[in-house]
């Protein structure tokens, strides 16, 4: 399996993410938030293939530097292991892989719980994946308490935790940026709207782990994304990040996939999900929200750059049971469905209370094939008829890898282990 793609070199391999669960724990008072994918302390097995791909990459020298963002002094990051009373990382969700120089890191949302308490709060965990272990399954959640950080906000004499969700990472030169959703439990859930949450932009750096566990990413700079970027907030009922990875374009724009919700009808809970982008120039001070894709009910976006013209391609999971793919050549100011190529090729699992699952979606280059051929790699869960049966099936499915040049599509096969939960 690995030998079939070992020659792939993928300069944008941080766009890969593994989805291992379709539902996650909910925090108290956040019933309206969409369920998260989580690893439930499972093995990060299906990341192995992509890690091998990434390890084949040469780490070119990058000299461009972004302007330093202004960090909000009221935000402070704290190691989970320093929490009074002890904290357990219950599960990891919305995982992604990030290549920093010659190092590869797994980055995920960490769902934490204080010992003896029931409420869940979230932070960010990161762990280096070493080259000598890249061909073996590894338990990323082992020792997660030593690798996770939580965010606190100081206001007057009060200190409160800020839940962060769906981390979306991108490299700009040597700098690590991450967009996260934020939520501070202050208002009653029924009175909460799009203006009560928002996004934070983080900047991190690789540092040595004091516990002797190798390198880790520590988040240093934290700033709010201006709410004015979202336009008329009354038309939106919420925003969450896409998770996984964003893109740095040639003009050094940082671009992130996001998911919004809008009112669909008059009923209180009659809402539709939409997929779109949010992006900022290199100064990270001004942000723009793109147009949404044409079809409502499409969620869990993942995005790549493709082709000589560097058009954007966004894959979404839609309510009609299909994976729709959209193209844009103007940073999401207009979208066209990629009919006849990738759109509607893949489907979603159907059934009662089934939640959408994000796809893994990256670009890569295969050396020595028609002058270093460019391809896209897609990972999605596949369910057999037996898996779909409530009585005899295990419901886990298998995580499959596909390779496509936007004309032909090849199913490489399963990249998950027998005991892994694909979705």
18: in domain: yes
Q: How many CB atoms lie within 10 A of CB 210?
A: 10
| 323 in any annotated domain | yes
CA dihedral 148, 76, 260, 247 (to 10 degrees): -70
Encode pLDDT of 378-394 as tens digits. Answer: 988 887 766 555 433 44
Give the whole-angstrom CA distance, residue 412 versus residue 410. 6
As a whole number, the mean pLDDT across the chain is: 75
By the 10 Å C-beta count (0-12 exposed, 13-18 middle, 19+ buried), 165 is classed as buried
Global pTM reads 0.79
The pair phi, psi for residue 348, each rounded to 5°, is -110, 160
Q: What is the pLDDT of residue 138?
A: 59
Please give the pLDDT value at position 332. 95
Residue 140 predicted with pLDDT over 80: no
Total structural domains within the chain: 1
Angle in degrees, CA 361, 44, 86, rounded to 5: 120
Residue 423 lies in a domain: no
d(CA 1, CA 48): 11
Least confident of 59-73, 91-105, 207-221, 313-327: 59-73
Pairing of strands 244-245, 158-172: parallel
Q: How far is CA 167 from CA 39, 54, 86, 123, 125, in A?
A: 15, 20, 24, 10, 10
Mean pLDDT of 322-333: 95
DSSP state letters, 263-302: E-SSSTT-EEEEEEEEEE-TTSS-EEE-PPPSSTTEEEEE
Q: Is residue 216 within a helix (H) or strand (E), and if so which, with residue range?
A: strand 215-224
Alpha-carbon distance 245 to 359, whole Å? 11
CATH number, domain with residue 400: 2.120.10.10
How many CA atoms does the CB half-sphere of 277 hold within 13 Å? 30
For 160-186, write each residue's pLDDT tens digit.
889 999 999 999 888 999 999 987 654
Query: Is 231 a domain residue?
Result: yes
pLDDT of residue 164: 94
Q: Is 181 inside any structural domain? A: yes
Which of 154-168, 244-258, 345-359: highest mean pLDDT? 244-258
Give yes or no for residue 234 having a pLDDT over 70. no
Q: Is residue 213 part of a domain?
A: yes
Q: How many C-beta neighbours within 10 Å does residue 386 have?
A: 10
Please check whether residue 55 lies inside any domain of the structure: yes
Question: What pairs with residue 262 in β-bridges?
Answer: 236, 272
Sequence-ordered list of residues with C-beta below 8 angstroms from that of 402, at least 6 positions apart, any chain: 377, 378, 379, 380, 409, 410, 411, 412
Residue 56's pLDDT band (boundaries 50, 70, 90)?
very low
End-to-end CA distance of the chain: 21
Residue 379: give the domain boundaries.
2-414
Does residue 132 belong to any structural domain of this protein? yes
């Amino acid at each position: 399996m690995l030998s079939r793609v070992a020659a792939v070199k993928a300069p944008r391999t941080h766009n890969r993410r593994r989805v291992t669960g379709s539902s996650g724990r909910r925090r108290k008072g956040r019933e309206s938030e969409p369920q998260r994918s989580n690893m439930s302390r499972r093995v990060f097995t299906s990341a192995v293939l992509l890690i091998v791909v990434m390890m084949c990459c040469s780490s070119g020298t990058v000299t461009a530097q972004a302007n330093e963002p202004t960090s909000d002094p009221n935000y402070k990051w704290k190691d989970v292991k320093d929490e009074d009373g002890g904290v357990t990382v219950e599960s990891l969700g919305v995982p992604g892989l990030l290549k920093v120089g010659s190092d590869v890191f797994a980055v995920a949302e960490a769902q934490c719980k204080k010992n003896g308490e029931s409420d869940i709060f979230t932070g960010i965990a990161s762990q280096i994946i070493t080259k000598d272990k890249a061909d073996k399954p590894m338990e990323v959640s082992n020792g997660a308490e030593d690798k996770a950080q939580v965010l606190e906000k100081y206001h007057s004499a009060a200190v409160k935790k800020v839940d962060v969700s769906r981390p979306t990472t991108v490299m700009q030169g040597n700098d690590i940026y991450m967009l996260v959703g934020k939520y501070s439990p202050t208002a009653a859930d029924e009175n909460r709207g799009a203006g009560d949450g928002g996004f934070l932009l983080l900047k991190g750096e690789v540092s040595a782990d004091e516990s002797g566990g190798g390198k880790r990413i520590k988040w240093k700079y934290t700033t709010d994304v201006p709410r004015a970027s979202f336009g008329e907030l009354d038309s939106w009922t919420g925003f969450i990040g896409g998770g996984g990875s964003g893109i740095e374009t040639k003009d050094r724009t940082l671009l992130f996939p996001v998911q919004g919700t809008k009112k669909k009808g008059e009923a209180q809970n009659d809402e539709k999900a939409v997929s779109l982008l949010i992006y900022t120039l290199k100064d990270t001070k001004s942000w723009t929200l793109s147009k949404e894709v044409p079809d409502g009910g499409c969620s869990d976006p993942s995005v790549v750059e493709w082709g000589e013209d560097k058009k954007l391609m966004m894959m979404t999971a839609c309510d009609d049971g299909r994976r729709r793919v959209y193209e844009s050549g103007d940073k999401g100011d207009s979208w066209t469905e990629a009919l006849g190529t990738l759109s509607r090729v893949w489907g979603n699992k159907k059934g009662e209370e089934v939640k959408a699952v994000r796809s893994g979606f990256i670009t890569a280059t295969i050396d020595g094939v028609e002058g270093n051929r460019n391809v896209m790699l897609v990972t999605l869960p596949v369910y057999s008829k037996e898996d779909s049966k409530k009585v005899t099936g295990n419901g886990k499915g298998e995580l499959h890898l596909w390779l496509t040049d936007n004309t032909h599509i090849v199913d490489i096969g399963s990249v998950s282990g027998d005991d892994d939960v694909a979705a």
